[in-house]
Amino acid sequence: MSPGWEDLVARVRGASTRLLGRDRLLQLAHARDLVQVTAALEEAWGASTGLSPGATPEQVEVAVRRVGASHLATLARWSLERSTLLTPVFLDEDRRSVRTLLRGAAAMSPEAERITGLIATPALPERALKELAKQNSVSGVAALLSAWEHPLGAGLLDIARDPTPDLLRLDVQLNANYITQAAAAVRRAPRGHLTRRELMDFVRDTADLENALAAMLLAGQATSLSPETLFLPEGRRLDRAAFLAAAQAPDSASAREMIHRAFRGSPLAEAFTGTRSAEDNALMARLRHSLHTARLFPLGAAPVMAFVLRVRAEIRDLCLIIWRIGAGAPPAAPRDLVSVV
């Protein structure tokens, strides 16, 4: 048992009952229109969503993201002195947001598109995400993060100042910042503390998955970057030799097969099978693994991490459903959703 986590786990279990779950998401996917969606969300979450019957897809999505942010803010408040230990979880959400914002700035996409699906955290609240989304350049995003002394901002500005900044280098620097900060936070936990192992496993899984995604991106591509410089430490499934072999494969499909072999026997192996994108597969695999771990270790950090991943997956699925309905596209099928409960 991990002393001092029982109260947080109990509260997280209560908060989990407020999540929609896969069955309700599938019902929402087949809603006639957004009016039906907003009515169902108000029934589930209460009128505090502030949605009107004539809400646009963008307005519904903002309400959905705010609910996700509320879950994380509540978790941070409940965590008290344990919030430092949960750095790997909260900072991972920030990492995903910053990566999306950097790519949006590079593509000069509309501000609203840049924040689609992003979940605010205590360190990057909604107003901060909006300010980052307004930046006209990649260097603008990096400069703001640096000015705010956000832990993920280290080294980004040096890369972003290039007239044509390399997104892969930015991604690797961002991931490296995450690994460094998250691993350091976990190592500050008392030795022998069960939550230390669970949280470090989360960091290692992140390193493995990001290395795998980078290798598949590099495979078959001409680049001036040496694959050796892109490898993230702390992983346990994909070692440096396997990473380099996959990165130098003739194409991404070959790299994917090599990576799948490296992950064979791991709960994350399914991230490299199926027809979904590798990132969606990775989220689904991590969610399933975290739920399994939470059942094995019900009184430590595992149920908390499972809750955060459930929130992430649910917001992702809701945004997909909302924009499909708004665009008049076919409803999302079960295979399109990554939420598993």
pLDDT at residue 3 is higher than 90: no
For range 34-49, the mean pLDDT: 86
Is 2 inside any structural domain? no
For residues 258 and 227, state if they share a domain. yes
For range 6-34, the mean pLDDT: 93
For residues 115 and 183, state if they share a domain. yes
The confidence band for 274, taking pLDDT boundaries of 50, 70 and 90, is: confident
Q: What is the reported pLDDT for 192?
A: 61
Q: Lowest-pLDDT range, 23-32, 88-97, 178-187, 193-202?
A: 193-202
Question: Rounded CA gap, 310 and 287, in Å?
Answer: 7
CATH number of the domain at 279, please.
1.20.1690
Select from 173, 188, 203 the last residue of a domain: 188
For residues 179 and 250, state if they share a domain. no
Q: Percentage of the chain surpassing pLDDT 70?
A: 97
For 82-131, write each residue's pLDDT tens digit. Answer: 888 899 999 999 999 999 999 999 999 999 999 999 999 999 999 999 99
For residues 198 and 279, state if they share a domain. yes
Q: What is the reported pLDDT for 1?
A: 40
Report the mean per-residue pLDDT for the chain.
Answer: 91
Q: Percentage of the chain surpassing pLDDT 90?
A: 76
Is 117 inside any structural domain? yes
Q: What is the reported pLDDT for 226?
A: 86
Is 167 inside any structural domain? yes
For range 148-168, the mean pLDDT: 94
For residues 44 and 70, state if they share a domain. yes
Q: Which residue has the higher pLDDT, 69 or 224?
A: 69
Is 1 inside any structural domain? no
For residues 219 and 243, state if they share a domain. yes
In which domain, by residue range, is 70 found?
7-84+301-341
For residues 264 and 325, state if they share a domain. no
For residues 183 and 195, state if they share a domain. no
For 197-223, write each residue's pLDDT tens digit. Answer: 899 999 999 999 999 999 999 999 887
